[in-house]
A and B are shown apart, each in its own frame.
Chain A
Amino acid sequence: MVDMEQAWLLPALPAAAFVILALFHQYLPRKGDLIAVGSTVLSFLLALFVAADLFGQLPAGPGELVGNTSGFDWVEIPDIDFVLRIGFRVDQVTMVMLAVVSFVGMLVHIYSLGYMKGEPRYGWYYAVLSLFVASMLTLVLADNFLLLYVTWEGVGICSYLLIGHYWERRTAAEAAKKAFITTRFGDVFLLIGIVMLWREAGTFDMSEIFEKAEAGEFGKTYLTAATLLLFGGAAGKSAQFPFHVWLPDAMEGPTPVSALIHAATMVVAGVYLVARVMPLFEASYDGALYFVVVVGLTTTFMAAFMGLVMTDIKRVVAYSTLNSLGLMMVSLGFGEAGVGPAMLYLFTHAFFKALLFLGCGSVIHATEKQETTDLGGLAAKMPITGRTFAVGALAMAGVVPLSGFFAKDEILVAAQDFSWAALLLILVSLPITAMYMLRLYLLTFTGEPRDRHAYEHAHESPPVMSWPLVALAVLAVVSGFVVFEPIGKAIGVHSGFLGAVENVLVEEVHGFSLDWAMAAVSTLLVVGGLYAGYYAWSGAALPAKAAGERFPFLYRLLRNKFYVDDFYQWVINYVVLGLAKVIAVFDRAVVNDTGVNGAGEVTNGAGFFLKFQQTGKLPNYALAMIVGVAVLAIVGFSVKG
């Protein structure tokens, strides 16, 4: 039986599938896709056993789990305390991620059988997808920062490769570069933060660093700086403001990839990291957590407003992802009390957001259109996609009793204890979220078809694609119920979701209690948002158009994504390229002309003068030899003398 000590098998299986597919996919039947799918299915089953082993040990307080670590020291340099450890560690926070990654990874592998059928580089697609699952599972299992960083880059490169899967399309190649470079900015912060922690603590091991931080062995300012640098890495990966620009463009990749990487797993790696290093935030100045809240709220609001006006259905879902990621970060900014809600949101979000993306994929597969101006009325043609999409949209909006409701409400409860300003702002964002989610559904699935030809062409997707939708829709409905204690007990945990997760951090847990007043307020706001959305966009969407014409400046501001992308382009054009020109001059004048060419010219000139020594006359050479020997002899004797 597999228990927590064999958790390394989870990433090992997809990694093996990657190696096999990357090397031999041309020679395998069906390009080896079934090997990749099989490895993820096995990984998911193993994850269930690992979960059973973990649940059996709960409730265990911080550090009380036994047999949950494995691994070995790969590289050791004793003189400088450097240990590169391939180490794995399972706890409740990890388990949430393991469940999400292995389950959504499995579904996306299956769904891709239909979606990617006959697409170019099919075998390579599956190879990279497996590599991604392997990297992501290692990332969440890593027990030290160095391994985490390695896999952090691993998921980054997979994201790059998969966004750029259709690299013949220029926009896809550009989007891949944009995603990679933008997240690299964050990654540099992360690396500096890790090195800072290592320099002071002499270890990469997370739990050791946390113990030292709690014991106050770091200078407080130093620790705060290092922690904020780690947060910089998390913000890059989780597309928080000001790094958010890459995520909408990442929609150039195949849709299942968007569902897996840019909704359910990789983008929440940042959230996971912040939750993981919460002890460091707790030991830092309070400002660090406030900073997280501010960044998260900024992201939430920018994304929610932009979601209102975008017309590409995948991009709207991408903005809703930004919105959710912002909320998770805000929740983490509340400190230890916010970790449980954030992880709950992460857990439920993975299901309903993957559902929304795969629903978009289904629409795109059927109509080959993804602009709302080309869609409409598809509910009749694609009943399964339409209904499951509606479930996903309502879960995202946070309608009772779908999963998004519980997650969002726990965040609100945590906000209550933190600050009323944050609470108010989150409440304000709720109706906006509800509005654009309903807008997306109405424009895609109801009303008059705006492109007759695409509409006639549309059909329900094959079962291999629709069944993952149904599975995710069911989970989008029920996954929120894990907060209730009886449900938790039914799946073998001692308490509900929050109690189990909070156990990792603190002895005392808040647990779950439904705040009726809060629930009522939030539900009222969500329903209000839905009503406003219905009023604005149902039918011919006349009120929405009128609003757009009434406030042209606002509309342009949102359509142009607050000009953030343009600002970055301006910086690149004038600052980066300007600096590059200066450096180019230096390169030309100093490095090239003086250094490289200079060395050549000196050699050349020396050769010109020395060549006259070669007279071609034998006696000259003989004389030189004899004089040379005589000089050497004299020197030799006098030195020895």
Chain B
Amino acid sequence: METAAEQIPLESFLFVAAVIFSLGVYGVLSRRNAVQILMSVELMLNAVAVNFVAFATYTDPELFRGLVFAVFVIIVAAAEVGLALGIILRVFRNRATANVDEVSELKW
């Protein structure tokens, strides 16, 4: 009996991850709402996590170093969201907007 890993080639996983990552990049560049940008960043992080898991399964099945990294990515993402949402909340409280174009004081 073939395992799932043997039925689905590695490239499929990488393809999916690349698509998700590109969506994330597009989101970061095109959105103006800070919360949406944050969500796009989450997409990019998750794409990376998928890559980790895929490579771990295909190239290094005995150990699970890649899996550990994936867990780390999730933890870091959670922490980052907590911090970033806190900042966005403060900005929103101060100026009643979450539009990043309107928060541009730090320039020449």
Contact = CB atoms under 8 A, between A and B. Distances in A.
A611 B100 CA distance: 20
B101 interface: yes
A626 B108 contact: no
A619 B29 contact: yes
Nearest to A619: B29
B44 to A, nearest CB: 10
A358 B106 CA distance: 79
Interface string B10-43: 0000000000000001001100100001000000
Contacts of A612: 108
Interface range for B: 10 to 19
Contacts of A626: 25, 28-29
Contacts of B104: 615-618
B107 interface: yes
Nearest to B41: A622
A614 interface: yes
A615 B104 CA distance: 7
B26 to A, nearest CB: 10
Nearest to B25: A626
B106 A617 contact: no
A623 interface: yes
Given A614-B106, A614-B107, A622 B28 contact: yes
Given A614-B107, A616-B106, A623 B37 contact: no
B96 interface: no
Interface in A586-641: 611-612, 614-619, 622-623, 626
Contacts of B6: none
A617 B101 contact: yes
B95 to A, nearest CB: 14
Contacts of A619: 28-29, 32, 100-101
Contacts of A623: 29
B29 A616 contact: no
Contacts of B8: none
A616 B25 contact: no
Contacts of A611: 108
Contacts of B105: 616
A623 B32 CA distance: 13
A617 B34 CA distance: 12
A622 B34 CA distance: 13
Interface string B50-62: 0000000000000
A623 B108 CA distance: 19
Contacts of B106: 614, 616
How big is chain A's contact interface, by range? 10 to 19
Contact of A622 (B29, B101, B108): B29
B63 interface: no
A631 to B, nearest CB: 15
A351 B25 CA distance: 97
Contacts of A622: 28-29, 37
Nearest to B32: A619
Contacts of A617: 100-101, 104, 107
Contacts of B100: 617-619
A523 to B, nearest CB: 96
B103 interface: yes
Nearest to A625: B28
A32 to B, nearest CB: 65
Contacts of B28: 619, 622, 626
Which residue of B32, B101, B104, B108 has the most chain A CB atoms within 10 A of its CB atom?
B108
B14 to A, nearest CB: 15
Contacts of B29: 619, 622-623, 626
Contacts of B25: 626
Nearest to B106: A616
Nearest to B100: A618
Interface in B77-108: 100-101, 103-108
A618 B101 CA distance: 7
A614 B107 CA distance: 5
Nearest to A611: B108
A618 B41 CA distance: 13
A618 B107 contact: no
A633 to B, nearest CB: 13
B103 A618 contact: yes
Nearest to A623: B29
A614 B105 CA distance: 10
Contacts of B101: 617-619
A616 B37 contact: no
B43 to A, nearest CB: 14
A510 B28 CA distance: 105
A198 B104 CA distance: 70
Contacts of B37: 618, 622
Nearest to A608: B108
Nearest to B105: A616
Interface string A533-554: 0000000000000000000000
A1 B32 CA distance: 96
A615 B108 CA distance: 7
Contacts of A618: 37, 100-101, 103-104
Contacts of A614: 106-108
Pairs A-B, 6 closest by C-beta atoms = A616-B107, A616-B104, A611-B108, A618-B100, A614-B107, A622-B28
Given A616-B107, A617-B101, A619-B101, 9 more contacts: A615-B107, A617-B100, A618-B37, A618-B104, A622-B29, A622-B37, A623-B29, A626-B25, A626-B28
8 contacts: A611-B108, A615-B104, A616-B105, A616-B106, A619-B28, A619-B32, A622-B29, A626-B29
